[in-house]
């Protein structure tokens, strides 16, 4: 059995019976504002603290904004700057406007997709990253109009990340935040794992959020939808299977 990489997210490692098999690429899908960016940031923060070089590649928001939002949400993470200074935690990215408008190269969006991928790969190599987050696949999808080409591109991304040996979280926007209406893009099935974050409905004034592991190659995992909350100490998945 392969090594398990702890996500470090309270309760999630319990749902995964220890963590994500090393080298797996996991899609983190969820509705708008479900906490995809914050959860994937926390995954890198926890892994950086444990000594694994961790790279966040932001495509939806500027890297500085990701960092600012994480600082505000996770007030108790007081060593973010120290980790960044040590280069154990690297927050990088590419301006979405440049990506989506083909930059000044005029090479078209598929060309731009290739450029983004090779930029991510170079960053993994130059930083010797062990963990990576790409936030999000949905921006990359916008670059490629043809479904067959998008599917091939996702296959090549999965293959390249596997080759580089990183354990990754790739965020993806779901069309609906509701479990009952959940459908998956077939493209996601080329990846090793899928975790979803969605709304379980409203209870009085409170928004109820739930997390579920849909699949995780090479590992046993919980199939139970488990509530989670975003707290200043990090994301807390209220799992009964903590180990």
Ligand X SMILES: Nc1ncnc2c1ncn2[C@@H]1O[C@H](COP(=O)(O)OP(=O)(O)OP(=O)(O)O)[C@@H](O)[C@H]1O
Q: Which stretch binds ligand X (CB under 6 A): 25-33, 106-114, 122-130, 181-189?
A: 25-33
Rounded Cα distance between 55 and 184, Å, is 26
Q: Does 38 bind ligand X (CB under 6 A)?
A: yes
Q: Least Å distance between CB 106 and Mg ion?
A: 29
Radius of gyration of the chain (CA): 17
Q: Least Å distance between CB 137 and Mg ion?
A: 12
Q: Looking up tokens 């309760």, which residue turns up?
A: 11
Map residues 164-203 to x or -, x wherever contact with ligand X holds by CB under 6 A: ---------x------------------------------
Q: Which does 35 bind (CB under 5 to 8 A by kind): ligand X, Mg ion, none?
A: ligand X
Map residues 86-125 to x or -, x wherever contact with Mg ion holds by CB under 5 A: ----------------------------------------
Angle at which helices 63-73 and 36-49 cross, to 10°: 80
Instruction: CB nearer to Mg ion: give 36 or 221.
Output: 36
Q: Which stretch binds ligand X (CB under 6 A): 27-35, 119-127, 148-156, 157-165?
A: 27-35
Rounded Cα distance between 134 and 27, Å, is 10
Q: Does 167 bind Mg ion (CB under 5 A)?
A: no
3-state secondary structure of 106: coil
- Whether the CA torsion 41, 46, 48, 52 is positive or negative: it is negative
Out of 17, 18, 49, 60, the residue judged to bind ligand X by CB under 6 A: 60
Q: Which stretch binds ligand X (CB under 6 A): 11-19, 28-36, 43-51, 187-195?
A: 28-36
Q: Indicate left, alpha or beta for 234 from its phi (over 0: left) and psi (-120 to 50: alpha).
A: left
Instruction: CB nearer to Mg ion: give 129 or 134.
Output: 134
Prior bond to 136 cis, omega within 30?
yes
Rounded Cα distance between 226 and 178, Å, is 14
Instruction: CB nearer to ligand X: give 32 or 106.
Output: 32
3-state secondary structure of 9: coil
Size of the site for ligand X (CB under 6 A): 12
Q: Least Å distance between CB 111 and Mg ion?
A: 25
Q: Does 32 bind ligand X (CB under 6 A)?
A: yes
Rounded Cα distance between 203 and 233, Å, is 24
Buried b (16+ CB within 10 A) or exposed e, 35-61: bbbbbbbbbbbbbbbeebbbbbbbbbb
Please give the residue ranges that form the binding site for Mg ion (CB under 5 A): 36-37
Please give the residue ranges that form the binding site for ligand X (CB under 6 A): 30, 32-38, 60, 73, 173, 230
């Amino acid at each position: 059995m392969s090594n398990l990489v702890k996500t470090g997210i309270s309760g999630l490692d319990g749902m995964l019976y220890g963590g994500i098999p090393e080298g797996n690429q996991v899609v983190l899908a969820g509705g708008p504002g479900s906490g995809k960016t914050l959860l994937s940031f926390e995954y890198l923060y926890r892994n950086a603290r444990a000594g694994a070089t961790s790279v966040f590649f932001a495509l939806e928001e500027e890297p500085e904004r990701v960092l600012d939002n994480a600082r505000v949400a996770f007030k108790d993470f007081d060593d973010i700057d120290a980790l960044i200074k040590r280069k154990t935690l690297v927050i990088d990215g590419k301006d979405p406007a440049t990506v989506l408008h083909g930059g000044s190269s005029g090479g078209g969006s598929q060309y731009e997709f290739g450029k983004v991928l090779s930029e991510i790969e170079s960053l993994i190599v130059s930083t010797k990253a062990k963990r990576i987050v790409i936030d999000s696949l949905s921006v990359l999808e916008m670059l490629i109009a043809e479904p067959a080409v998008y599917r091939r591109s996702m296959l090549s991304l999965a293959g390249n990340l596997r080759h580089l040996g990183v354990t990754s979280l790739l965020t993806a926007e779901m069309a609906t935040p509701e479990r009952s209406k959940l459908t998956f893009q077939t493209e996601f099935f080329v990846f090793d794992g899928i975790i979803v974050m969605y709304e379980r409905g409203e209870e009085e004034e409170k928004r109820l959020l739930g997390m579920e592991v849909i699949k995780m190659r090479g590992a046993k995992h919980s199939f139970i939808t488990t509530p989670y909350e975003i707290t200043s100490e990090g994301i807390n998945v209220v799992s009964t299977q903590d180990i």
